[in-house]
Each structure stands twice: as C-alpha cells, then as structure tokens.
Amino acid sequence: MTVQECERLKRITARDTRICQTYLRIIKHNEEKQILVNGEFRRLIKKDLTVDKSILDKLTLTTSKRTTVPHDLKKRYSHCSHNEFQECRDKAIWTDESWRKLQAYSTMELKRPQFKTKTSRPMYPRITQGSYTVRVHFESGNTDAKLWLELRDSLDSKKSNKRIHKRLKLPLTYSPYHENKLKPEQIKQIELVYKSKERQWYAHFIQKYSVPSYQSTNPPAVLGVDLGIKKTAVAVLLTPRGKVIMDELCFIVNKERQSKIWQLNKRIKDIQKKLDTKINNGQSHNQLNVKLSQLRRKRRSITEQELGYAVNQLVEFILQLKKQYNLFVSVGYPKDIRKSYLRGSGSKSHRRQLHKWYYRLFITKLKYKLKRYGFEPHHVVAVKEKNTSNTCSSCNSTNTTRTGQGQFNCHKCKYELDADLNGAKNIAKRLIRYALKPKLRHPLKPKNYYVWDLLTKDNHPIELFKSLRPLGKWLR
C-alpha cells in the first residue's frame, strides 16, 4: 500500500466515523418525538427498543421521490453514496441499540455511546455490474500478495452525468488458516479497523453459515451438569418420569490431566510460600516471581485443554439426547469458591475470579459449540450451585452426610446415591424451580423483552420461561 493510499484510507474512515456520529446524534434528537410517516404518527424507537430503519432513512436520506428531509445528509457529505450512508447507519443503530438494551436492565445511568476513535463502517460486498463499494478477490501469479481488498474511494468523485470512483486496492496478509476459511462469496460483512498502538490496519470478515433450526415436539427434559474437581463434569438427565437411568448420565474424568493440575497446584503453593518469606525478609524475589507466573500460565493452559475436552464430550452426549427430548441444560454456577481448588493463587478475591473464569469459559464454550449444531443457546442456563451437594435430591432434606468414597446418604429418607450424581440432579431440579416460580429469589430476572441472568450477566430471550414451564408438571 502506498503512502498516498494509506492517507486516503485514513480519510475515508475518518469521514465514516463522522457520519456514524451524526446518525447517533439524529437518533438522540428524535427519540422522544412523534414522526409523521405516511399519514400516521410513529416513533423512531420501537417497543422492543430497536431503531426503525425506514423512519431513520426518511429523516436523513433524500431520494428521487423524497426531495426534502429534516436532516439532509447527502447535502452535507455530497460524495457519499446511498449505500455508504446505509452502512454507516447500521453501525450507528447497532451501537445505539446495545446501549439502549443495557440501559433497560441497569439501575445506573449509562453513558451514551460515542465514536471517539476511528471506526470504519461495516461494508457489505455488493457487486452490481462492475460497480461495487467493496470486493475481495484472490489473485494468482502475484508474488507479493494473493488476497486483495478493493474499496471504492468515494472522497472526491468526478461529477459528470455519472459518478466515477477510483478504487483503493489493499493487499491483505493472511495465514494458511485464513486462506482455508475465507470464501469471498460467503462474506457478508467487512470492517476495517486501525490499531493505533501497532500502527496497522486489520480487516475483520464476517461470513455466514447456515445452521439447521431446532424445534422439538419431544417431551421436555433437563440435563443437570455439575463441574467438579475430581471429576471434570458429571451430567444427569431428568426425564418426565423423574428417573435417572444408567445410560442417561455422563461422567467426564481425565485422570492424567487432573494429576498434572494437582502437581502444579502443589508447586505453585510451595513457591508462593518461599516468595512470602523472601518478601517478609526484604530479599530480592524477581526470579521467583517469573517462575510463579510461568507455572500459573501453564496451569491455565492445561485447565483450558481439560475444559475443551469436557465440552466436546458433553456436546456429543447432548446431541444424542436431543433426538429424544426437548432438552434444557442446567449448569451449576458457583457463588463461593471451593477452598482446595486453585491453591496458592494469591488473595481470596483473586482465586474467586479465577474460579468464575473457569465456569464462564465452560458455559461460553458449550453454548458456542452447541449453536453450531442447531441447538438453541438459550437452552443452556446457569443456576446457583449453593447447597446442591448437601441436599437430598429425593426429599430435599439437608440432614445428610457425604462419605469419603463420594457416597451420599440421606438420614431422613434413607436415600443413597453417588454424591456427584446427587449434586447434578439437584442442579437439574433447580432450573425447573426457576421456571415454576419466576418471582422467587433466583438469578433469572425477567425484564421487558429479556431475561437478565444475574449469575453470568448474560441475557436470554423471554421465551425461556415459556418453554421451561411444561417441565414443572412432573416436579411434584
């Protein structure tokens, strides 16, 4: 890319940023007003907090039929095309909508969004007989770069009868991974981002895959998942019969990795002790610090591997069950950390963060994987893990003991079960209770059009409660 081209690109993105900012201002200016459209008054912000694109267009863009508008953008940015305006409009609308939704379930006053740094508009590749705003193509035989991004340079175009635009031709560097993944005909959106720290431009591509939709007429069932230390994960299915059948549970254990983590835990703890004494004596401790962070990084990567392995196993299990049931997955989410885990990782609050990171990562990975197989991600819900290990899953009594071998005994109803299974069963039951009594104190808070999840800070669509309701019938 020549210096001149680089300058042009900077100017184009700067202009786009200004247009996006203008759109945000127009939305703010008109959000309270009633706007006359085709003889009736309508609002720019719809009831579900989204922005009405057609009304916004009527406010800003002139067409051959519509000659005057309140905010004439085409007059202000005379070289910009209709398509380019719409691309900027979409960017502004996304930003505004995400702020609006956050504000809807926040008790604090959130700051309105602003485009301070240079952000490019999202560009949609469109090819209409040689005229395009952006195009990606592979070029064979060229040794410098094979992948090119061609961008319409719309800063100053010759205005005769027809507008003529120059093209900016940007070479892209990429890895073999990107070459495999990138299909120019599948690209739905391209965004150019300038990272000022690295002084480099990045091109972000969004490609569209089609995923089969998942609509089940099967009976509902809940899979309770308990993440643990000795066993990475234990999953139990609660069916309408309310029974646990042996081939409908899943233990995920990987002894090799687990012992690795235990060893690392021990070493980290030892070094932490040494470090503490050195700090107390005022000695230098740089080397120990380096060693400690090395070991922690190693532990983190092993934990992540272990997690990925567990998720893969669980996804296989879930996809099997999906054939028979309308399946919901309930994952136990901790409020407090278990003391023995992640020993020697600094302060208690730090350990708690690490622990939460582990659970969050698990849930995110699971949702992401399942989504690719057409399993609706809002069927995966986090529930509070508190007391699930010491409550009897048969009679809800807490007058129970847990023996050393991981056996669970209830003193009230004499129920005996594997302790991890009992925990997972309780986790499954908890999700059903949430659905039955949405007013009870639990972390799923319905608000307007969303269910706000206090545990994971995610949001689910309001349909979650509706689809969970039939499960309650067989809880009693």
**By CB under 5 A, is residue 419 in contact with Zn ion?**
no
By CB under 5 A, the count of residues binding Zn ion is 8
Helices 3-30 and 82-104, axial angle in degrees (round to 10): 50
- The smaller minimum CB distance to Zn ion, of residues 412 and 445, is found at 412
CA-to-CA distance for 298 and 281, rounded, in angstroms? 29
Stretch that binds Zn ion, among 164-172, 185-193, 367-375, 409-417 (CB under 5 A): 409-417
**By CB under 5 A, is residue 410 in contact with Zn ion?**
yes
- In 3D space, the residue among 293, 313, 289, 291 whose CA is nearest the CA of residue 301 turns out to be 293
262 DSSP assignment: H
- In 3D space, the residue among 125, 122, 123, 121 whose CA is nearest the CA of residue 186 turns out to be 125
Stretch that binds Zn ion, among 230-238, 360-368, 407-415, 468-476 (CB under 5 A): 407-415
Percent of residues in the chain assigned helix, strand, coil, to nearest 5: 40, 25, 35
Provide, rounded to whole angstroms, the least separation between the CB of residue 422 and Zn ion: 10
CA-to-CA distance for 69 and 179, rounded, in angstroms? 45
Structure tokens at 125: 């590749």
* DSSP assignments along 333-365, one per residue: E-SS--TTTTTTSSSHHHHHHHHHHHHHHHHHH
Residue of the chain from 392, 428, 432, 464 that contacts Zn ion (CB under 5 A):
392
- The smaller minimum CB distance to Zn ion, of residues 127 and 413, is found at 413
- The smaller minimum CB distance to Zn ion, of residues 55 and 417, is found at 417
Provide, rounded to whole angstroms, the least separation between the CB of residue 411 and Zn ion: 8
If one counts every other C-beta atom within 10 angstroms of the C-beta of residue 90, the result is 18
- The smaller minimum CB distance to Zn ion, of residues 27 and 410, is found at 410
Give the number of residues written for the chain.
476
Place of tokens 């309408």: 240
For 123-132, letters b (16+ CB in 10 Å) and e give: bbbeeeeeeb
Listed in order, strand segments (DSSP E) in 173-293 are: 187-195, 200-207, 220-227, 233-238, 249-252
- The smaller minimum CB distance to Zn ion, of residues 422 and 459, is found at 422
Provide, rounded to whole angstroms, the least separation between the CB of residue 409 and Zn ion: 9
Residue of the chain from 50, 189, 390, 394 that contacts Zn ion (CB under 5 A):
394
**By CB under 5 A, is residue 390 in contact with Zn ion?**
no
Stretch that binds Zn ion, among 76-84, 230-238, 307-315, 385-393 (CB under 5 A): 385-393
Report how far apart the first and last C-alpha atoms of the chain are (Å, whole number).
69
**By CB under 5 A, is residue 397 in contact with Zn ion?**
yes
Provide, rounded to whole angstroms, the least separation between the CB of residue 417 and Zn ion: 10
Determine contact, residues 119/44, Cβ cutoff 8 Å: no
* Three-state secondary structure string covering 124-170: CCCCECCECCEEEEECCCCCCCCEEEEEEEEEEEEECCCEEEEEEEE
- The smaller minimum CB distance to Zn ion, of residues 194 and 408, is found at 408
Q: From residue 393, how far is each of 236, 335, 410, 411 by CA, in Å? A: 12, 20, 9, 12
CA-to-CA distance for 476 and 465, rounded, in angstroms? 18
- The smaller minimum CB distance to Zn ion, of residues 94 and 415, is found at 415
Provide, rounded to whole angstroms, the least separation between the CB of residue 403 and Zn ion: 15
Provide, rounded to whole angstroms, the least separation between the CB of residue 108 and Zn ion: 44
The residues facing 444 across adjacent strands are 453
Residue of the chain from 413, 437, 461, 473 that contacts Zn ion (CB under 5 A):
413
Determine contact, residues 443/454, Cβ cutoff 8 Å: yes
Output phi, psi for 168, to 5 deg.
-95, 130
**By CB under 5 A, is residue 36 in contact with Zn ion?**
no
**By CB under 5 A, is residue 395 in contact with Zn ion?**
yes
Residue of the chain from 99, 148, 357, 415 that contacts Zn ion (CB under 5 A):
415
Stretch that binds Zn ion, among 45-53, 227-235, 272-280, 406-414 (CB under 5 A): 406-414
Stretch that binds Zn ion, among 297-305, 403-411, 437-445, 453-461 (CB under 5 A): 403-411
Provide, rounded to whole angstroms, the least separation between the CB of residue 389 and Zn ion: 14
Stretch that binds Zn ion, among 78-86, 321-329, 373-381, 392-400 (CB under 5 A): 392-400
Provide, rounded to whole angstroms, the least separation between the CB of residue 388 and Zn ion: 14
Stretch that binds Zn ion, among 256-264, 299-307, 384-392, 447-455 (CB under 5 A): 384-392
**By CB under 5 A, is residue 50 in contact with Zn ion?**
no
- The smaller minimum CB distance to Zn ion, of residues 279 and 395, is found at 395
Provide, rounded to whole angstroms, the least separation between the CB of residue 397 and Zn ion: 5
Stretch that binds Zn ion, among 57-65, 93-101, 368-376, 395-403 (CB under 5 A): 395-403
Stretch that binds Zn ion, among 26-34, 405-413, 427-435, 452-460 (CB under 5 A): 405-413
- The smaller minimum CB distance to Zn ion, of residues 309 and 415, is found at 415
Determine contact, residues 86/23, Cβ cutoff 8 Å: no
How many CA atoms does the CB half-sphere of 456 hold within 13 Å?
Answer: 25
If one counts every other C-beta atom within 10 angstroms of the C-beta of residue 16, the result is 26
Which residues bind to Zn ion, rule: CB under 5 A? Answer: 392, 394-395, 397, 410, 412-413, 415
